[in-house]
Amino acid sequence: MTTESAIESKRVLLTRPRGENAQLGKLLLACKAVPIELPLIEVEAVDINAGAETQDVLKLLSDNAKRRWLVFSSANAVRYFFEFVRERDVQIKAQIACVGERTAESVIKHGYPVDFVPNVWNARSLFHELPVEPGQTVIYPSPQRVSFDATDLLRSRGVELLQWVLYTTRGVNLTESQKRLVNDSLDAAVFNSASTIDSFFVHFGENRPLLESLCWICLGTSTSARLLQYGFQANVLPEKPQAAAIVAALNEYYAQ
């Protein structure tokens, strides 16, 4: 069996928020798999007031005399950050670090260069490898729930972390017809966050035959760690969270 045909006819659940599954879906179709798009979480901005904390962050971002890093751990963080600062005509003077290529591409589209991307694309590696120096400040636009708390790590290096919460994720309600898409027949599922794992178990945690037969594809160590808390282990851990890497890893798994 060739690598291309290894996932033929396999039904693969895509759980990212709507609009974020297109590239992976196309590659799965090219390999004759059957992608099933069923977003399990929603992403939305939180209310950000114009209080002292926000004003301090905006001042730091635009101050030429200060040495600081602006760190993005997701494309959603980039989206909500630039929506906010563009409305206030803030010019970014900080060095920029991104968790991976997809996030970096999002920053570049806004007209800013990216100074650092870690070798391993996850939040833990991002903060561990970040080339900060004592006395610098790291500004971190983030979700309400982060996969890795870098406060102590950066403090031990003499660096201040300013976490700036811009958005949140929450599980979605599914219709009975949507649930049947999963309950009737499913071979594999792709999870990119702990939140998607949580939402999946809310809706399908009682379907033991499904849980025990599923090929679990987890993007990132925090995602696989959350799955382990439910008593299951990831079958596929792609080296990078790119669509091509996911499909290649899934092909390899089924070709064995």
Rounded to 10 degrees, the C-alpha dihedral 220/163/161/198 comes to -30
Q: What is the pLDDT of residues 126-170, one digit of tens each?
A: 999 999 999 999 999 999 888 778 999 999 999 999 999 999 999
Q: What confidence score (pLDDT) does residue 241 get?
A: 87
Q: What percent of the chain has pLDDT over 90?
A: 70
Q: What percent of the chain has pLDDT over 70?
A: 96
Q: What is the mean pLDDT of residues 162-184?
A: 91
Choose among 47, 36, 21, 23: nearest CA to 174.
36
Cα angle for residues 37, 104, 85 (degrees, 5° grid):
95
Task: Give the model's confidence band at 11: pLDDT under 50 very low, under 70 low, under 90 confident, else very high.
Answer: very high
131, 154 contact by CB (below 8 A):
no
Mean pLDDT of the chain: 91
By residue count, the chain amounts to: 256
Question: What is the per-residue DSSP string for 86-137?
Answer: HHTTPPP-SEEEESSHHHHHHHHHTT----B--SS-SHHHHHHH----TT-E
69, 76 contact by CB (below 8 A):
no
Q: What is the mean pLDDT of residues 89-94?
A: 88
Please enumerate in sequence order all residues whose Cβ is within 8 A of that of 88, keeping only pairs 6 or more positions apart, or say none: 58
Cα angle for residues 90, 83, 128 (degrees, 5° grid):
80
Q: What is the pLDDT of residues 192-235, one digit of tens each?
A: 999 999 999 999 999 999 999 999 999 988 899 999 999 999 99
Choose among 190, 139, 6, 166: nearest CA to 77.
166
Q: What is the mean pLDDT of residues 1-11?
A: 75
pLDDT at 3 over 60: no
Q: What is the mean pLDDT of residues 94-107?
A: 94
pLDDT at 2 over 70: no
Q: What is the pLDDT of residues 29-82, one digit of tens each?
A: 999 999 999 999 999 998 876 556 788 888 888 887 668 999 999 999 999 999
> What is the rounded distance in angstroms from the CA atom of residue 193 to the CA atom of residue 64?
36
